[in-house]
Amino acid sequence: VYSLSSKTYDSDLSEQIKAATQETHVRAENTDLMTSFQKGQITRTQYKVLLCSLYEIYTALEEALDRNSSHPAVAPIYFPQELDRTEALERDLEFFLGSQWRSKVIVPAATHRYAQRLREIGKVKPELLVAHAYTRYLGDLSGGQVLGKLAQKAMELEGKDGLAFFSFPGVSSANRFKQLYRSRMNSIELSEEQRREVLQEAVDAFNFNIQVFDDLQKMLSVTSESAEKPKGTSRSTPFPPPSSVQLTVGLCVGLLTVGIGLYNF
Ligand code: HEM
């Protein structure tokens, strides 16, 4: 079927994936962490723990893409020069955490699960990698650009230090690159079954991100993080309300460990 507003068919993967993830995109935008960003209230602690998780996620994603770079469902969307974020994240982490940053990287369970999924499909279902690459890279090239400016302002950063993650020196026009990326996605040959799996994997990818953001906020709520928030904003509750106090001992211990780790930041 022709869509009236454009030359594309609505059977294009790029159209289908956007439609399939529209609802979870709204949920991702409305997580506490993303809301802090949008209000220009992101704190250094929030940003640092986010960078740590992004580092874990992008190392797994980019290793999986590298290992499958000649796979027919990966080659068309393989743009390491233009898109790779691992090195940018290393620079940002060094800026915020110092030269010993590697020993300070701390990530919650949701981040491990996300990275684990990326490694798994890199090994057994590379045709699903497009769903994850789309979710992260096209997001970074879209809303990410505004978020970079908001982060710079909120943390009062001078110049570009600490913001390499948001900058894509190999991409001169984000919009044109996104068009190219979509057309490459649409050139991937997938069976009906594989296409359904890719669409489901993209929804899962958004949900992994939401879980990471939520876990990061939970992690921060057991530390002194809220004290860092700008005046006039409501403090996040340090402990979950009684209804959700049925946390397992394991989770509490995990959060405390993470909390202790955060004091090293
Ligand atoms: C503060 C949070 C966010 C804001 C304000 C935001 C905003 C936007 C905007 C304005 C666009 C462009 C829409 C268009 O050109 O039609 C976009 C696209 C996109 N965003 Fe986000 N976004 C946010 C968070 C996220 C997150 C957390 C993810 C995934 C991890 C994500 C993934 C995407 C993707 C994949 C696209 C491309 C959609 C497409 O053209 O197919 N976004 N976002």
Domains present along the chain, CATH in parentheses: 20-220 (1.20.910.10)
Mean pLDDT rounded to a whole number for the chain: 88
Structural tokens at position 109: 């369970």
Residue 219 one-letter amino acid: M
Q: Please work out whether the CB of residue 39 comes within 6 Å of at least one atom of ligand 1.
A: no
Rounded distance between C-alpha atoms, residue 112 and residue 135, angstroms: 18
Q: Which residues are annotated as a binding site?
A: 18, 25, 134, 182
Structural tokens at position 223: 């530390």
Alpha helices, DSSP H only, in the chain? 13-29, 32-38, 44-67, 80-83, 86-97, 109-124, 129-133, 139-140, 143-154, 174-186, 192-221, 249-262
Q: Please work out whether the CB of residue 26 comes within 6 Å of at least one atom of ligand 1.
A: no
pLDDT tens for 140-163 read 999 888 899 999 999 999 989 999
Percent of the chain whose pLDDT exceeds 90: 77
pLDDT tens for 157-214 read 998 999 999 999 999 999 999 999 999 999 999 999 999 999 999 999 999 999 999 9
pLDDT at position 253, please? 58
- In this structure, the residue with its CA closest to atom 16 of ligand 1 is 142
pLDDT tens for 49-68 read 999 999 999 999 999 999 99
C-alpha 136 to ligand 1 mean position (Å): 9
Q: Please work out whether the CB of residue 223 comes within 6 Å of at least one atom of ligand 1.
A: no
pTM for this structure?
Answer: 0.87
CB atoms within 10 A of CB 99: 6
The conformational region for residue 30 under phi > 0 = left, psi -120 to 50 = alpha, else beta, is alpha
Map tokens 């080659």 to a residue. Answer: 75
Q: Which residues are annotated as a binding site for heme b?
A: 18, 25, 134, 182
Rounded distance between C-alpha atoms, residue 227 and residue 7, angstroms: 52
Q: Poorest-confidence range of 99-103, 244-248, 250-254?
A: 244-248
